[in-house]
Amino acid sequence: MKVALVQMRPVLGDIDKNLKIHLDYIRQARQKKVDILIFPELSLTGYLLRDLVPEVALQPDRSPIFQQLLEASQDLIVIFGFVEEKEPGVFYNSAACLGQGQIFHLHRKVYLPTYGMFEEGKFFAAGRLISSFNFPFGRAGLLICYDFLHYGTSYVLFSGGADYIFVISAAPGRGLQEEAGFASQRMWELMGETVSYFSSAYVCYCNRVGFEDGKGFAGGSFIYHPAGQLLARAPDLKEHFLIQEINPEELRRIRQKRFYRRDNRPEIIWRSLGKIINHDED
């Protein structure tokens, strides 16, 4: 089974150009017999949209853009980022998983960074749900960028039986270090290693590259094995089409050795969180 990450630079605010880029990569993926193709966060629009948000928003059930992507994804899974107008005038930073001509899942970003260079809370509504879903290769979960850095989100997907955790991102590069790469990249890789190991799931993280309004995006996309091993990593800063073979049978092999799935008790977490939320102390 082949997974591909498209480490691309979207054209800010130009949904038609970005659609063409997506369709071109889908054609390439089909030629290379890719099963799952993943694009970065807001791949159809670019990231620093600000007042452009309403102009590039899509309604999946009636958008011609979505229809073209649905038609193109008949024989492979395609995951990408877009601006969703769920109801008139209410916009979300969303991810879609398409395949076999249908929408398997939509995820609306829950954690919206609004500090420093980030302004998402000014323009987007926050999603209210994280859930695993069925797709042709088992069960999966979608997260968008900052969602992944809140470790409870991955636990929800783990408890929902996710075999694959797909993370799409628009993360900048921050902090130089003596060795090659950004200091901030270690944060993402550490989470990928930890989540894959303790969730016994494949973790695929697709980040973008390029510059917008002087802000540089880091790249460094990666895929982790359910044993917590790094399988593949894309270079920093450069556009790259990363294709990696993975073996779904590894999920069964790893879970026979590690009993985190067998021993998981989400009802305990539910009750404990309920007490915290309700300020009910023993």
Residues 6 or more apart whose Cβ sits within 8 Å of residue 244: 2, 3, 4, 5, 223, 231, 232
Structure tokens belonging to residue 189: 């890789």
- pLDDT (tens digit per residue) in 111-147: 999 998 899 999 999 999 999 999 999 999 999 999 9
**What pLDDT does residue 179 have?**
59
Instruction: Give the Cα separation of 279 and 223 in Å (integer).
Output: 39
Structure tokens belonging to residue 222: 């990666």
pTM: 0.96
Q: Using 50, 70 and 90 to split pLDDT, how confident is the model at 280?
A: low
pLDDT at residue 200 greater than cutoff 70: yes
Instruction: Say which residue the tokens 């398997």 belong to.
Output: 104
In the chain, the largest separation of any two C-alpha atoms, in whole Å, equals: 60
Q: Using 50, 70 and 90 to split pLDDT, how confident is the model at 225?
A: very high
Residues 35 and 3: beta-carbon distance below 8 Å: yes
**What pLDDT does residue 210 have?**
96
Instruction: Give the Cα separation of 261 and 161 in Å (integer).
Output: 8
Instruction: Give the Cα separation of 152 and 90 in Å (integer).
Output: 26
Specify the DSSP element, H or E, that contains 96.
strand 90-99
Instruction: Give the Cα separation of 280 and 265 in Å (integer).
Output: 21
How does DSSP classify residue 244? E
Superfamily holding 2-277: Carbon-nitrogen hydrolase (3.60.110.10)
**What pLDDT does residue 207 have?**
98
**What pLDDT does residue 184 have?**
78
Instruction: Say which residue the tokens 């088992």 belong to.
Output: 138
**What pLDDT does residue 193 have?**
98
Q: Using 50, 70 and 90 to split pLDDT, how confident is the model at 281?
A: low
Question: 217 vs 17, 45, 143, 181, CA distance in Å?
Answer: 19, 15, 18, 12
- pLDDT (tens digit per residue) in 59-111: 999 999 999 999 999 999 999 999 999 999 999 999 999 999 999 999 999 99
Instruction: Say which residue the tokens 């807001």 belong to.
Output: 42
**What pLDDT does residue 86 have?**
95
**What pLDDT does residue 177 have?**
53
- pLDDT (tens digit per residue) in 142-183: 999 999 999 999 999 999 999 999 999 999 976 655 555 677
Residues 208 and 46: beta-carbon distance below 8 Å: no
Nearest to 184 by CA among 165, 171, 203, 199: 171
